[in-house]
Amino acid sequence: MKLAMVGSGAMGLRYGVLLAEQGNDVTFVDMWQPHLDAVHAQGGVYVMRDHKGRHLVPVKMVTPEEYHDDPDMFVFFTKQMQLADYLKRMAHAFKPHQYAFTCMNGMGHVEKLQRYFADDKIIGGTALVATVLPGPGEVDFMGKRGAGMMNMCPLNEKPDAMCQELFKQLDKAQFHPTMTDDFTGTLMTKVVFNSVMNSICTMFELQMGQFGRFPGFDTMAKDLLDEAYDVCGRADIHLVESRADMLASLEHNCQVDMPLHYPSMYQDMSKDRPTEVDYINGYIAKLGKKYDYVAHTQQFVTQAVHLAEFHRQELKAEREKNQEEKSVVNG
């Protein structure tokens, strides 16, 4: 397959590099200039697995404006806040026969994709895969080869030949895909998962294993899960996992699969980037209001993450101010 990986951060690089290993033609697209500069200077991206085996993988990476190819499929791994800008800057390359595939976190991206791609050309997915971008031009795949899994489903819930071929390539790359038959339920299942794991670990700056070892883990997780499942029930959204299965998945990810991993929301906050909490916990709370259900805990967690962001920015500003004052004195 010919693929354009739009948004080439941690997840975009992991999917793109592993799909390219299977013989697929992958071009990476990004708009973070330090990342582009590093890749061009190095002739590729440095890839590690669990902080070990750092090696250079040659890749082609361009800006949205520089991309003029005709891929079978655009694969979107941008942040929710970035997607509209990426789509606008890449609109010149979109054609009616092309597909769009995405495993982005949160909700809100599908509606944006529908402005550029037909419903029968959109495929959604969710990925339980841990990856870190330590800096420009390098990526760290967390977990042994083949770790993690994913679900996928076309928007029209009718897998065609292209969807089946994508499934085949993802399976060859050891992403362990499962084809589901409920598009919204599939995407919302990951949103509910992230509403527990991402937000709590971000608020308290924890690795997943640290959260999983907390004696109150089950209680905190159940409070958020119960609200989310109640909201989805009112919205007639059927999640892929039951409440009990979801709790078991959270426990397994914390204790077995990814105990040393910091979720992507924390990675964003730690690098002074906006988090996607409004598209995860905030989305659940907003959906609840639509159906006359007040998700108090989801609302609280949304604001708590924003408080953590706010506090971090205040500390950063204070450090910069102190540094300036020291410079003036020493000068």
Q: Quick check: 95 and 121 in contact, CB under 8 A?
A: no
**34 in a structural domain:** yes
End-to-end CA distance of the chain: 59
Gap between the Cα atoms of 265 and 75, Å rounded: 21
Q: Which two tokens stand for residue 331?
A: 């000068």
Residue 326 maps to a domain: no
Are 31 and 70 part of one and the same domain? Answer: yes
Q: Is residue 176 part of a domain?
A: yes
- What angle, rounded to 10 degrees, do the helices at 183-203 and 243-252 form? 50
Per-residue pLDDT of the chain (331 residues; tens, 9 = 90+): 999 999 999 999 999 999 999 999 999 999 999 999 999 999 999 999 989 999 999 999 999 999 999 999 999 999 999 999 999 999 999 999 999 999 999 999 999 999 999 999 999 999 988 899 999 999 999 888 888 889 999 999 999 999 999 999 999 999 999 999 999 999 999 999 999 999 999 999 999 999 999 999 999 999 999 999 999 999 999 999 999 999 999 998 888 888 888 999 999 999 899 999 999 999 999 999 999 999 999 999 999 999 999 999 998 888 888 888 777 777 6
Q: Are residues 75 and 209 in the same domain?
A: no
Backbone angles phi, psi at 70, to 5 degrees: -125, 80
Per-residue pLDDT at 94: 98
Helix (H/G/I), strand (E/B), else coil: 304: helix
Q: Cβ(229)–Cβ(266) under 8 Å?
A: no
Residues 151 and 269 in one domain: no
Query: Is the domain of 275 the same as that of 306?
Result: yes
- The alpha-carbon radius of gyration of the chain (Å, integer) is 20
Tell me, yes or no, whether 52 and 166 share the same domain: yes
Number of domains in the chain: 2
Write the CATH number for 199. Answer: 1.10.1040.10
Residues 30 and 121 in one domain: yes
CA-nearest of 30, 90, 91 to 61 is: 30
Give the CA dihedral 86, 157, 70, 76, nearest 10 degrees.
Answer: 30
Question: CA 32, CA 40: separation in Å to the nearest integer?
Answer: 13
Give the model's pLDDT for residue 331. 65
Q: Which of 142, 77, 139 is nearest to 113 (CA)?
A: 77
Q: Which helix (H) or strand (E) holds 195?
A: helix 183-203
**234 within domain boundaries:** yes
pLDDT at 256 (0 to 100): 84
Contact 269, 275 (CB under 8 A): yes
Domain boundary among 162, 181, 200: 181
Find tokens 């909490």 and name the residue: 277
In a domain, 239, yes or no: yes
What is the reported pLDDT for 145?
84
Segments forming the whole domain that contains residue 129: 2-181
Q: At what angle do helices 217-234 and 243-252 cross, to 10 degrees?
A: 140
pLDDT at 257: 81
Domain boundary (164, 181, 198) is at: 181
Task: Point out the domain boundary residue: 147, 181, 215.
Answer: 181
Give the model's pLDDT for residue 178. Answer: 96
d(CA 26, CA 108): 26
- In terms of domains, do 99 and 129 share one? yes
Q: Which 8-state DSSP code applies to residue 17?
A: H
Note whether 126 and 246 are same-domain residues. no
CATH of the domain at 176: 3.40.50.720
102 inside domain? yes
Q: What is the pLDDT of residue 318?
A: 87
